[in-house]
Structure 1
Amino acid sequence: MKKHLVLLVALATFLPLSSFAADAEGLYVGGNLGMAILNDADTTTDSGVAVNIDSDLGLALGAAVGYAFENIRVEGELAWQKNDFDKGKAMGQEVDLNGDSSSLAFLFNGYYDFKNSSAFTPFVTAGIGMARVEVNDVEVPGSGIPAASDHDTVFAFQLGFGVSYAVSDRISLDVKYRYFDTREDEYFSHNIYAGIRVFF
């Protein structure tokens, strides 16, 4: 009798997990929250002086609408990130910097999910789109030089990988790494996200 009771409890415990053995299929919405590690940027002033700009760790956010079928997912994503400037280096001198850089990108992403018998699904991803990159109020404190701002709209792409976990038959959580690059103005970053997808 006790053996049968133990077996029933074990089945009741593992049956719900088996039903969520892989991510769901169909229409979904998703959100991402993470950190953006922006590269050091090398630029040249109007007078020909080479300047290296270092940035602090930044915030990265994303929202997406997509569709999943079998091992493939496609989605449209709106992604935003912002990094405050930290230091500027030129002619052997280092100075503090005020201001920040940010980007707002629309990307078309594709995913390949390595589905298996567990609730964990590794994946790889790639995306292309456009990004509006802004430099806002950059200045050297106390220099007396007015703050400068600029912006540009450029081609953007990203590559990445991660793993998702099926919490239920409609909700999946994931962690992922993405390399985001505009291929212009040396604006690229390494981003790490935690995300959620809700299926309909």
Structure 2
Amino acid sequence: MSVARHLLAASLLTLATPAVAADIDILAAPEIAIPVAETGLYLRADATYGFDTTFGGTQSLVGTGGTATNRMGDWRLDDGFGVGGGIGYKASDWLRFDATVDSWKQDVSGGNGAGWFCGFDRSCASREGGSIRALEVMGNAYVDLGTVAGFTPYVGAGLGAVHVDYGDVAGTVICTGAAACSVAGSSAAYDGDASWRFAYAVSAGVSYDVTDNLSIDTGYRYLNVQDGDAYRFDAASGARLVAEDDGFDRHTIRAGLRFKLW
């Protein structure tokens, strides 16, 4: 009986082994694929709209008797459109970098309650007007704040330089008050100055993924442009007028496309 029992137990163990092995195969943990962050180069193209803004400056009249300086009244930089483009790199799901170039041209106008024609005497005032053509070259960094239903809000900051070109500026003299004024209606064309200026920017916006490679990007950007030369004029008397602005701010709405290269 003992031998028969051992043989029966061995047979049952042999029959059970495949079933246990099958159970082990079924219960084996599946492999987990870890998602890889999307990175790569992208191109961007933008249309911009800059709101009007005001800024100040200084006029200096240099002559044989020395130099006289006077603060300019508020100048107005009109609103207007511009275009831009750039190339960028998405370093991770939350960090991007790009280099951008933007171009715009806007009218500028202002005046001085004490005109330089009168040696900054308040018997006359001056009115000036022209345009500013600018080329913005900026390096930017952005933090993407997560994507929900294809929408990705972001914040950013940038540093760079802006080439500010005043072109030609026209000036006109207006008599004021009861004081004698012999230069009423006099006008002159000033030579506009052009220079590169340091600039910084902060921005915020949201992008929407149209496809895996194409996104719509809309946002707001604040740009601060540092002070610089504005215009100058050499009078027949030998005196020279030199004007400098205090720099200006630009508040801009941007809308464009980002196209992923790889």
Aligned to 1:37: 51
Aligned to 2:247: 186
Distance 1:95 1:60, change over 3 A: farther
Q: In 2, distance between residues paired with 1:89 and 1:190? A: 25
Q: Aligned letter for 1:42?
A: G
Aligned to 2:257: 196
Calculate the TM-score normalised by the size of structure 2. Answer: 0.62
Secondary structure of the 1:139 match is: strand
Residue number among 167, 176, 180 corresponding to 1:136 in the alignment: 167
Answering whether residue 83 of structure 2 is matched by residue 61 of structure 1, we say: yes
Distance 1:146 1:67, change over 3 A: same
Q: In 2, distance between residues paired with 1:112 and 1:94? A: 49
Say what the alpha-carbon RMSD is for the aligned residues. 2.2
Pairing 1:147-186 to 2, within 5 Å after superposition: 147-184=190-227, 185-186=246-247
Q: In 2, distance between residues paired with 1:70 and 1:178? A: 22
Aligned to 1:99: 130
Q: In 2, distance between residues paired with 1:42 and 1:83? A: 17
State percent identity of aligned pairs: 28
Pairing 1:122-133 to 2, within 5 Å after superposition: 122-133=153-164
Distance 1:175 1:66, change over 3 A: same
Answering whether residue 54 of structure 2 is matched by residue 49 of structure 1, we say: no
Residue number among 98, 113, 136 corresponding to 1:75 in the alignment: 98
**Runs of 5+ unmatched residues, structure 1:** 1-23
Q: Aligned letter for 1:133?
A: V
Give the deviation of 1:95 after TM superposition. 6.8
Q: Aligned letter for 2:206?
A: V
Give the deviation of 1:46 after TM superposition. 1.4
Q: In 2, distance between residues paired with 1:198 and 1:95? A: 49
CA contact (8 A) 1:73 1:110 kept: yes
Give the deviation of 1:183 after TM superposition. 2.7
**Runs of 5+ unmatched residues, structure 2:** 1-37, 62-68, 115-121, 173-184, 228-245
Q: Aligned letter for 1:164?
A: S
CA contact (8 A) 1:36 1:82 kept: no
* Bigger Rg, which one: 2
Q: In 1, distance between residues paired with 2:203 and 2:79? A: 19
Give the deviation of 1:144 after TM superposition. 1.9
Paired residues in the alignment total 177
- Relative contact order higher in (CA < 8 Å, ≥ 6 apart): 1
